[in-house]
Structure 1
Amino acid sequence: MYSPPPDPADAHRLADAHDKAAAALGASPHGPLVWGWHGRTLSRRAEHPEHGACWLRLLAAPADKADGKLWTGTADAARSVPHAVRRPVLHGLHDATDTAYAYRAELTSFIDSPACSPDPVLRQELDLPASWWTSLRTDLARLAAVPTDRVAVRQEWIDRSVPRFTGAPAPQVTEWATAHGDLHLANLTADGPVIMDWEGWGIAPFGYDAALLYAYSLLAPATAARVQHEFTDVLDSPQGQAAQLIVAAELLQSASRGDHPDLVPPLRTLIQEISTAL
């Protein structure tokens, strides 16, 4: 769970924009406010006369930056990702602007199953059934085949960031596939699983989602071992090992900005293991 913006004026502004979006979409919000990363999003449960229980998520950005992959991800997924991939259904969008900011509200179906973790970094072991893992693998395989011009990870970023944050040479990716792009256990429900939060999906190195799920689980060794077991064919391949190095660079970059510092030691160990294998 994340905290509100540090400036109370920003929190009030977002809450007001959320209320206005709810009214525009004909939804009645209730329950606690749920803040996203660095207060960039604000979500709340809502009721809709046609769709019933829903989830209303508001994104905010400076007006001149309200565009691109993160802004359109949910809508793009609704258009392009097969319905067989379990995810919330998009019921409606509402865009608004004020003098300095732009807002996009997304009204989606409410998923009545808790996330597997309250935080992207898993800190408690999970015991998920074999059917859960089979469903996840099936959905990721369906997603990997989706044609898109959205890009989740670029070779240019890999070339810059892997040497900087890992000390290892940047792998040259030869196999790419469509990925969710933010696959961790806070974005996966205990039942299903349903895959949440589609703002960052797009083309990524083969094995990227499995590598991200594994790296975010390193503080829960038994669950990390289960991820490794379920995705052995992916993670043990040369492409999967390269994806793990890329993911380690990404998470270390986040740690350099103050996010999940406790994940740094196991990431350093992973880098050593992968660098030896590569």
Structure 2
Amino acid sequence: MTTAQELADQRHRDHMRTLLAQAAEQFGFDLAREPVFGWRDRTIGAPAHSPHGDLWVRVTTEFPAWAYGRVWTGNTDATALTGVPRPEVAEQVYRVFGDQLATPDGVRAQLFVIARLLLRIERGDDPAVAPLLHQRARELLGR
């Protein structure tokens, strides 16, 4: 049986999918893959094809009275990244900082971030990324 919370979550995700499709249509983009939800379903994004090339479409929605404070800086912070299509951000970070990430301190930093993300997943965040995080941790640990 579906709980009220599960039903509300599904309705919210359906609403976010509708907003993403409307945004893509409004700008003349074709969504290329299934969308990905951000932290606590606050955002939704997907790769898209446009007349100007491939890009990433991202939509967020929240009541303005609730969207404040340090946990709501991700959307603003993301706009500071220019010239890098969103699916390539991780690759760009590795190209720029790969030498530092390969140092013992860099490996420890990556493991620290992986541990924090896995803890967030245990608390209800996106479980789909857990296998990727575990895989990366094994690579870093040489196993």
TM-score tier by shorter-chain length is 0.5 to 0.7
With structure 1 as the length reference, what TM-score do the two structures score? 0.32
Task: Give the superposition deviation at 1:28.
Answer: 1.6
In 2, the alpha carbon distance for the partners of 1:31 and 1:134 equals 25
Instruction: Tell me the equivalent position of 2:123.
Output: 257
Q: Which residues of structure 1 form unaligned runs of 5+?
A: 79-87, 90-107, 117-131, 141-206, 219-249, 263-278
| Contact 1:31–1:44 (Cα < 8 Å) also in 2 | yes
What does residue range 200-239 of structure 1 map to in structure 2 within 5 Å?
211-216=108-113
Q: Percent identity?
A: 21
- The structure-2 alpha-carbon separation of the partners of 1:75 and 1:53, relative to structure 1 and needing over 3 Å to count, comes to same
The structure in which a higher percent of residues are helix is: 2
**Which is greater in Rg?**
1
**Structure 2 vs 1, CA of residues 62 and 258 (structure 1 numbering), >3 Å: closer, same or farther?**
same
- How far apart, CA to CA, are the structure 2 residues paired with 1:9 and 1:24? 22
Number of aligned positions between the proteins: 114
Q: Which residue of 1 aligns with 2:16?
A: 14
TM-score computed with the length of structure 2 as normaliser? 0.54
Q: Deviations over 1:74-129 (max 9, x none)?
A: 11233xxxxxxxxx62xxxxxxxxxxxxxxxxxx4653x9x79xxxxxxxxxxxxx
Is the contact made by 1:27 and 1:48 (CA closer than 8 Å) also made in structure 2? yes
Provide the C-alpha distance between the structure 2 equivalents of 1:70 and 1:34, rounded to a whole number of angstroms.
15
Residue 64 of structure 2 aligns with an amino acid whose one-letter code is A
How far apart, in 2, do the equivalents of 1:65 and 1:34 lie? 22
Alignment of 1:28-67 (within 5 A): 28-50=30-52, 52-67=53-68
Higher strand share goes to which structure?
1
